[in-house]
Amino acid sequence: MTDSGERLQKVLARAGVASRRAAEELIEAGRVEVNGMQASLGVRVQPGDRVTVDGEAITAPAQHVTYMLHKPAGFVTSAQDELGRMTVLDAMPAVPGLHPVGRLDKDSEGLLILTTDGDLTMRLTHPRFEHEKVYRVWCYPEPGERELAALRRGIELEEGFARAEVEPALGGALALLREGRKRQVRRMFAEVGCPVDRLLRYRVGGLWLGDLAPGEFAQLSEQQLGWLLQPGAAQQSPEQQQQEALTRRLWL
């Protein structure tokens, strides 16, 4: 086996197909071919090689792009939907390899990251990085001190114990998570008797929603990518402080 070329899982990640770890799973499942031959872990790709996943050729972009989208309620966070519903990619430009990072359920809205960079996806979604995600929750009845204390202590969900840092807000609460279980905020609030009516995510890491209107998107600058990769928002630049103030004025 030659040592030249680029590792196949890295090529898949750079093309936005999956993170490197997920790409390894695709290879082990026999879903990846190089030049018509089923690939195995350790294969390296040379310039001009044809790489396919489930029979579809992939093309790695020369330079990755990352966007923030104000996801409207009603859009599904996936590349395709078997029920024919609108997906978040329907709101975005047609960029090869573009995919959502993490999820917001169909009925939720707010800040969603989409990128062509599989390595960035892994860094933002792997639990060890503990990136903060913050939500505005509207619910009825509103949580009192007893319910807020229960959410802070933690709620036993089917797949394990889940905690949130919460504080009261008019009509509901603000909730900060450092993990990303499916519909976690909705499930936790339902467990304490405060079902969610509306849910809006307004911060990921150190990146704020700002004045991005529902359905609007913007390509992230290098500065904004730096904000995004901050685990939280403890130390903010003056520009981040401005975005926080704008976010709070418009959405909270």
Backbone angles phi, psi at 176, to 5 degrees: -110, 130
Q: Tokens at residue 16, please?
A: 């936005």
CB atoms within 10 A of CB 65: 16
Q: Which helix (H) or strand (E) holds 196?
A: strand 196-204
Are 133 and 201 in contact by the 8 Å Cβ rule? The answer is yes
For the annotated catalytic residues, the residue numbers are 105
Question: What is the maximal distance between C-alpha atoms in the chain?
Answer: 64
Alpha-carbon separation of residue 3 from 7, 32, 225 (angstroms): 9, 20, 33
Burial of 27 (0-12, 13-18, 19+ CB in 10 A): buried
Q: How far is 57 from 119, CA to CA, in rounded Å?
A: 20
